[in-house]
């Protein structure tokens, strides 16, 4: 889908999707474009649209480059954060003259947020650079919101893991571990996005291959770079916290298992002497003095009870139980 936007009264407005609209647009948004739409953009403004495979290249030189005076910037954005199965998608920003072209094959939330905000009067500039700055600022804000939500979730999990009812064997440790795994996965994807944004922001203001740095965005880019650096540090902190909680849950599961094994071990030791006594008197040899003794059976029971109580009391005295 091709959408072209113009700037009127400081607000972005859709102006169509034909060649004339593309030539006068300040923002051309390509969402899962067809080959015909790519050719239309390439013929109208003279810029080559990268393919999906080229956008997925992991080398920075393949994601950030200058071609014919246009800057090609590819960033990794986090999406589907509210579904429990977050993912990342590559988005390419092409800064060509006074126009911005974005190429994406998914719909990350920052784009919808920016479109809603930029539709208000006096909310954006009349150049592609201004639109790029607004989009990047919205992406950084979205990442901050994601990390803030993850931090709140980890706090709630921390209260659950370290709850006072640590002796409650009905605790759902498996659910805690799954929740921690989902949060850790989301943090890692947010960290990946922050790394790509940090490279993009640095590249955006560099003077490379004759492409002049974006002077009008330098102040905003410096602010966003500081924000990205602080968010990266916060993501590292959340990763450490998630790892601490995961280690704590695994440790508590081990303690629960050890308690169960300890009970079986104590039971085996406690029942061993009575079993020995019962085994002796269950052999039924013909010559056994106690077989003719009228008090033999109660005495054997008493010996078994005493033999079982003795190790139990010893364990209690040693506080092993």
Residue 280's domain is classified under what CATH number?
Answer: 1.20.58.340
Tokens 């009812």 correspond to 165
Q: Do 300 and 190 share a structural domain? A: no
Q: Do 179 and 30 share a structural domain? A: yes
Domain boundary residue, one of 256, 273, 290: 256
Q: What is the largest CA-CA distance in the chain?
A: 116
Q: Do 235 and 190 share a structural domain? A: yes
Task: Assess whether pLDDT exceeds 70 at residue 235.
Answer: yes
pLDDT of the residue at 144: 94
State the CATH number of the domain containing residue 149: 3.30.460.20
Record the tokens describing residue 169, joined without a space: 């064997």
152 touches 145 (CB < 8 A): no
Q: Do 248 and 142 share a structural domain? A: yes
Q: Do 101 and 242 share a structural domain? A: yes
Which helix (H) or strand (E) is 137 found in, with range? Answer: helix 128-161
Task: Assess whether pLDDT exceeds 60 at residue 210.
Answer: no
Tell me the average pLDDT across 223-246.
92
Q: Do 266 and 242 share a structural domain? A: no
Domain boundary residue, one of 228, 256, 284: 256
Q: Do 272 and 242 share a structural domain? A: no
Total of domains in the chain? 2
Q: Do 163 and 43 share a structural domain? A: yes
Spatial distance between the Cα atoms of 72 and 223, rounded to a whole number of angstroms: 21
Q: Which range scores top for mean pLDDT: 36-40, 53-57, 142-146, 171-175?
A: 142-146
Q: Domain of 310? A: 259-317
- Band of residue 169 on the pLDDT scale cut at 50, 70, 90: very low
Task: Assess whether pLDDT exceeds 80 at residue 243.
Answer: yes
Q: Do 188 and 108 share a structural domain? A: yes
Q: Do 273 and 195 share a structural domain? A: no
- Band of residue 285 on the pLDDT scale cut at 50, 70, 90: low
pLDDT of the residue at 171: 55
Average pLDDT, the chain: 82
Domain boundary residue, one of 256, 290, 308: 256
161 touches 241 (CB < 8 A): no
- Band of residue 186 on the pLDDT scale cut at 50, 70, 90: very high
pTM (2 d.p.)? 0.78
Q: Do 265 and 251 share a structural domain? A: no
Task: Assess whether pLDDT exceeds 50 at residue 237.
Answer: yes
CB atoms within 10 A of CB 83: 8
Task: Assess whether pLDDT exceeds 60 at residue 247.
Answer: yes
Q: Do 251 and 300 share a structural domain? A: no
246 Cα distance to chain centroid: 14
Record the tokens describing residue 211, joined without a space: 């492409």
């Amino acid at each position: 889908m091709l959408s072209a936007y113009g700037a009127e009264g400081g607000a972005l407005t859709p102006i169509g999707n034909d060649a004339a609209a593309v030539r006068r647009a300040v923002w051309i948004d390509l969402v899962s474009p067809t080959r015909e739409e790519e050719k239309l953009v390439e013929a109208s403004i003279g810029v080559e649209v990268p393919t999906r495979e080229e956008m997925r290249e992991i080398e920075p030189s393949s994601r950030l480059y200058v071609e014919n005076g246009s800057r090609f910037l590819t960033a990794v954005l986090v999406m589907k954060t509210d579904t429990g199965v977050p993912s990342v998608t590559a988005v390419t920003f092409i800064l060509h003259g006074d126009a911005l072209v974005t190429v994406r094959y998914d719909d990350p939330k920052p784009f919808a947020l920016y479109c809603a905000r930029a539709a208000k009067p006096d909310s954006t500039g009349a150049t592609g650079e201004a639109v790029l700055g607004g989009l990047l600022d919205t992406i950084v804000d979205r990442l901050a919101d994601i990390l803030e939500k993850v931090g709140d979730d980890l706090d709630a999990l921390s209260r659950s893991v370290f709850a006072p009812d640590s002796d409650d064997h009905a605790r759902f440790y498996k659910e805690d571990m799954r929740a921690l795994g989902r949060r850790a996965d989301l943090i890692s994807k947010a960290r990946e996005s922050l790394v790509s944004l940090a490279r993009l922001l640095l590249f955006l203001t560099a003077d490379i291959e004759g492409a002049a740095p974006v002077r009008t965005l330098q102040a905003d880019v410096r602010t966003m770079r500081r924000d990205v650096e602080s968010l990266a540090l916060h993501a590292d902190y959340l990763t450490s916290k998630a790892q601490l909680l995961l280690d704590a849950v695994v440790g508590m599961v081990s303690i629960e298992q050890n308690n169960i094994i300890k009970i079986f071990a104590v039971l085996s030791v406690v029942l061993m002497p009575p079993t020995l006594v019962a085994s002796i008197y269950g052999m039924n040899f013909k010559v056994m003095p106690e077989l003719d003794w009228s008090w033999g059976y109660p005495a054997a029971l008493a010996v078994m009870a005493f033999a079982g109580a003795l190790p139990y009391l010893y364990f209690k005295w040693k506080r092993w139980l």
